[in-house]
Structure 1
């Protein structure tokens, strides 16, 4: 009996080590799934149990659950069939914006015994958005002296879709003066340019109105239109030129509103109205880009707040237009610099409020930590108080298990208040604390003890006799033998009165 009890802790240690090996192996491979966005709620994604080589019947007893960052439940697991289903219709543009590919990472957590499996769900784009121009009308003032072949940049159309489903081409309504060509931008989007085919004559036709159409690559394609209004003006033979064609600047994400980002400058050799330059945000998406430019000075300032975790850089195009309608452009690349503005987050997956005493290495809690910041600002360290018989053990990336370091003794201490502290490595360091209470449950590990170490012969005999009578009384009551119960009760009272 003693040998079997002595081997039990060793066997549990071996099982725990094997569990850690299983966790490591589980984290080394990732199962990947793919499905189109806008798929209906309740749609079947995959049989997760089958793909992981698990029996369907073991999901419920092992406490299977899906875990991923955030509180919104996008996926659900049918523990009866092992099927992975959509909890709601998923919109790729809402979940990932312009990020491509759009991948949702999640884990399958098995609590008994603890085991993790990493999985990814990639949402593929469908053509559910049409191209859209931010303005219903573009105004171009073109001098009549402009030579055929001259190119006029036009504002781009926005399309929330990606890949071939975004804007692929531009067309212009039939006319005898212009045609349109499309070019690739550095970020993969296409922008239109208007090309003059024959010289304009203000006296013959002072104004033109053209329809610009943006087409995406869907099947069938979607489209959006805007009007180009062209005013033919008198001679202006010099277009503004920027001192730099490319500006690059870094801006901390916690910069205050209205702070200066950069100043651009263009010059025009013409005099008077034709030499006066006005600055505008040209190719930029004025709805989403948090910048504004001073029309006169060229100062670009911060207007909606920056967030490194949302957007890390902006590609802004600036136009300088003179009084005659000629324009030049430059590109401003603005890189958002991360600051430590997000405290770590702790998500508790499993919490055991009561732990039996005398048991080695019991799992008390399983939790995950996250920090949306980057670099050292997103690196985290977990700790608990040093004077507690508990250990924090990393199990998977950003997952930790809280276990007992040694067997607990309820008679020594019946309750522990544990503070889990998660600290990032940024400057200044931010931390999150999570408090849990663990109760130590009792086991029958203490034998009865006499209240005194020595007795006189008379007292000893009476004491032992009392003990035996009490013991027989208890067993008799438990056995529900009323006659024997009455006998022992009377005999006990008689003995007690004689002893006294």
Structure 2
């Protein structure tokens, strides 16, 4: 009577390496061993045990995001696979708590638990935050769930959204500074230097300088690279004493952004005079001088009147004192 075959594994079974085993030939255990007259094929299926954790396709991800993007932007997807089967191979994604509690990662990005898609939640500003990183987790749905994690680093790329800022001359509404230039200055004489910084980074912060407008365009020039303002030719007595220059500062972004500043230049006859006032200042000074003269004259008049009054009082007092002796001798009424 045929007996049911007994199958004994010679080594531990691993479903992930081999899920099916086939026995082809059946023999008895007698002596001598006899084979059956027919072949029997036995299929052995190995059931799965959740012993493999999800594995990310990369141990770390670097993502690039342009600043000032629209909210809910899809940045990129992370992906993890599990070598198990069934629920043991189903993966869900999550954001892990940040290592630095002061960085609110959950308010910056989110992750789709089913497919690993990452959506910036709000617009990012390169000038405020250039880069940040966080960890994402992948967890299977096994009864004893296993998980793994990967590092995600986000780089916020700069866009040209800030115009240059002029540090000198000051543009805060105060009295404009006047640069003095001797009339004996040779061509190339350094008048002043416009100092500015770019509000962005990289090539968006590279600045160039131009002189689009001036009282005498051929008298001054500005160096494109460093903002130095110099005389372009030899000065003459026929040149106006007062000049106004408009300097344009432009960055190298696309599209470029720019700012302007105004320079006031005064040609003086040497530097023996510490400062040659402008015509407006001369008029104000003349008015002040007339006021001083008026006050001096008024004060002198009051002083003379007071002195005359004192002398008159003394004379009257002396006459009254001597009236009893010789009234007719006093000529004062």
Taking structure 1 as the reference length, what is the TM-score of the superposition? 0.36
Structure 1 residue 166 and structure 2 residue 200: aligned? Answer: no
Supply the distance in 1 between the matched residues of 2:243 and 2:82 (Cα, whole angstroms).
69
Q: Judging changes above 3 Å, is the alpha-carbon distance between structure 1 residues 228 and 53 closer, same or farther for their aligned structure 2 residues?
A: farther
CA contact (8 A) 1:132 1:225 kept: no
Supply the distance in 2 between the matched residues of 1:195 and 1:272 (Cα, whole angstroms).
22
Supply the distance in 1 between the matched residues of 2:273 and 2:181 (Cα, whole angstroms).
17
Q: Judging changes above 3 Å, is the alpha-carbon distance between structure 1 residues 173 and 80 closer, same or farther for their aligned structure 2 residues?
A: same
Query: Which structure is larger by alpha-carbon Rg, 1 or 2?
Result: 2
Cα deviation, residue 192, structure 1: 0.8
Q: Judging changes above 3 Å, is the alpha-carbon distance between structure 1 residues 57 and 231 closer, same or farther for their aligned structure 2 residues?
A: farther
Q: Which residue of 1 aligns with 2:134?
A: 106
Residue in structure 1 matching 2:261, options 210, 226, 246: 226
Residue in structure 1 matching 2:195, options 146, 156, 163: 156
Q: Judging changes above 3 Å, is the alpha-carbon distance between structure 1 residues 212 and 57 closer, same or farther for their aligned structure 2 residues?
A: farther
Supply the distance in 1 between the matched residues of 2:228 and 2:132 (Cα, whole angstroms).
38
Supply the distance in 2 between the matched residues of 1:140 and 1:57 (Cα, whole angstroms).
75
Q: Judging changes above 3 Å, is the alpha-carbon distance between structure 1 residues 81 and 180 closer, same or farther for their aligned structure 2 residues?
A: same
Q: Superposition pairs for residues 95-494 of structure 1, below 5 Å? A: 95=129, 102-110=130-138, 113-134=146-167, 135-136=170-171, 139-174=178-213, 175-183=217-225, 191-201=226-236, 204-236=239-271
Identify the structure with bigger relative contact order (alpha carbons < 8 Å, sequence gap 6+): 2
Supply the distance in 1 between the matched residues of 2:123 and 2:195 (Cα, whole angstroms).
30
Q: Judging changes above 3 Å, is the alpha-carbon distance between structure 1 residues 273 and 209 closer, same or farther for their aligned structure 2 residues?
A: closer
CA contact (8 A) 2:179 2:266 kept: yes
Deviations 1:74-117 (A, max 9, x none): 1111113311010110010111xxxxxx3322211357535331
Q: Which residue of 2 aligns with 1:58?
A: 91
Structure 1 residue 43 and structure 2 residue 78: aligned? Answer: no
Deviations 1:332-358 (A, max 9, x none): xxxxxxxxxxxxxxxxxxxxxxxxxxx
Q: Which runs of 5+ in 2 are unaligned?
A: 1-51, 84-88, 140-144, 276-333
CA contact (8 A) 1:211 1:226 kept: yes
Supply the distance in 2 between the matched residues of 1:211 and 1:41 (Cα, whole angstroms).
40
Q: Judging changes above 3 Å, is the alpha-carbon distance between structure 1 residues 53 and 144 closer, same or farther for their aligned structure 2 residues?
A: farther
Structure 1 stretches of 4+ with a deviation exceeding 4 A read 52-57, 271-274
Supply the distance in 1 between the matched residues of 2:96 and 2:238 (Cα, whole angstroms).
72
Cα deviation, residue 138, structure 1: 5.2
Q: CA RMSD in A?
A: 3.4
Taking structure 2 as the reference length, what is the TM-score of the superposition? 0.53
Cα deviation, residue 41, structure 1: 1.2
Structure 1 residue 77 and structure 2 residue 111: aligned? Answer: yes
Supply the distance in 1 between the matched residues of 2:200 and 2:238 (Cα, whole angstroms).
44
CA contact (8 A) 2:91 2:138 kept: no
Cα deviation, residue 212, structure 1: 0.3
Cα deviation, residue 140, structure 1: 1.6
As a proportion of its length, which structure holds more strand?
Answer: 1
Q: Which residue of 2 aligns with 1:89?
A: 123
CA contact (8 A) 1:109 1:116 kept: yes
Deviations 1:248-276 (A, max 9, x none): xxxxxxxxxxxxxxxxxxxxxxx9959xx
Supply the distance in 2 between the matched residues of 1:152 and 1:203 (Cα, whole angstroms).
19
Q: Which residue of 2 aligns with 1:255?
A: none
Q: Aligned with 1:164: secondary structure? A: helix
CA contact (8 A) 1:66 1:77 kept: no
Supply the distance in 1 between the matched residues of 2:90 and 2:177 (Cα, whole angstroms).
65
Supply the distance in 2 between the matched residues of 1:220 and 1:181 (Cα, whole angstroms).
22
Supply the distance in 2 between the matched residues of 1:66 and 1:147 (Cα, whole angstroms).
69
CA contact (8 A) 2:166 2:261 kept: yes
Cα deviation, residue 120, structure 1: 1.2
CA contact (8 A) 1:145 1:235 kept: yes
Q: Which residue of 2 aligns with 1:30?
A: 60
Deviations 1:207-238 (A, max 9, x none): 100100011112221111010111112313xx
Supply the distance in 2 between the matched residues of 1:196 and 1:163 (Cα, whole angstroms).
32
Q: Judging changes above 3 Å, is the alpha-carbon distance between structure 1 residues 223 and 142 closer, same or farther for their aligned structure 2 residues?
A: same
